[in-house]
């Protein structure tokens, strides 16, 4: 088990067969030391992709994305979920159905923060059905920039998002890949022999 898989086993709470709660270190209270390790790991994995910009979605993607941007010395842009009076520029938008909130949000990034020649690394905290990541790839495409890769902190591999994104040809790197959450237990792909075959 890697550092993140160990931490999930220690502090994560399996809420249902589909939902993992990690709000003591990832998406409510934050562990900055762990975020730093996550940033270092993403920076290593994507060092040779010619990335020029990191894109994420508020709010839980911001911490891992900023730490990655710090390591890679790259700017970080986050898609906003709520319209703001300060967000008056020309916007690129996509509609995203939230897995946890069970509602659709229009997400938006100002056109001026994505250029045609950008090679974008998309970062998010969780990958479930892939709606958030797909919305971000859509926005990047609208800008004329290219999605170079997608970095996910926790991939729930038993939901459809991971396969969908890889089938579409995106390079997806996930720091923890969960094979199942059944019986209140977290099982990782690396522990599950069937998944390795």
Residues lying near ligand 5GP in the complex (CB under 6 A) are found at 19-22, 27, 60, 99-100, 124-133, 161
Question: In terms of CB distance, is 115 or 182 closer to ligand 5GP?
Answer: 182
CB-based contact 13:46 (threshold 8 Å): no
Question: In terms of CB distance, is 103 or 117 closer to ligand 5GP?
Answer: 103
Q: How far is the CB of 68 from ligand 5GP (least distance, A)?
A: 16
Q: How far is the CB of 131 from ligand 5GP (least distance, A)?
A: 3
Question: In terms of CB distance, is 60 or 174 closer to ligand 5GP?
Answer: 60
Question: In terms of CB distance, is 44 or 100 closer to ligand 5GP?
Answer: 100
Q: With helix as H, strand as E and coil as C, how does 58-113 read?
A: CCCCHHHHHHHHHHHCCCEEEEECCCCCCCCCCEEEEEEECCCCCCEEEEEEEHHH
Q: How far is the CB of 53 from ligand 5GP (least distance, A)?
A: 19
For 100, half-sphere exposure in the C-beta direction (CA atoms, 13 angstrom radius) is 12
Q: How far is the CB of 8 from ligand 5GP (least distance, A)?
A: 11
Nearest to 58 by CA among 18, 106, 119, 22: 106
Over the Cα atoms of the chain, what is R_g? 16
């Amino acid at each position: 088990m890697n550092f993140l898989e160990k931490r999930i086993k220690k502090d994560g709470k399996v809420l249902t067969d589909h939902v993992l709660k990690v709000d003591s270190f990832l998406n409510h209270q934050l562990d900055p030391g762990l975020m730093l390790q996550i940033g270092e790991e993403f920076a290593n994995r994507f060092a040779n992709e010619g990335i020029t910009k990191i894109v994420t979605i508020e709010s839980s993607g911001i911490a891992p994305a900023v730490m990655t941007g710090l390591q890679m010395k790259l700017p970080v842009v986050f898609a906003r979920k709520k319209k703001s009076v300060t967000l008056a520029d020309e916007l690129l938008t996509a509609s995203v159905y939230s897995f946890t909130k069970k509602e659709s949000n229009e997400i938006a990034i100002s056109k001026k923060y994505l250029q045609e020649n950008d090679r974008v690394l998309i970062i998010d905290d969780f990958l479930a059905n892939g709606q958030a990541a797909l919305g971000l790839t859509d926005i990047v495409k609208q800008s004329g920039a290219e999605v170079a890769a997608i970095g996910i902190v926790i991939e729930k591999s038993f939901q459809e998002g991971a396969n969908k994104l890889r089938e579409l040809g995106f390079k997806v790197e996930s720091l923890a890949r969960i094979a199942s959450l059944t019986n209140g237990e977290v099982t990782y792909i690396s522990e599950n022999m069937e998944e390795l075959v």
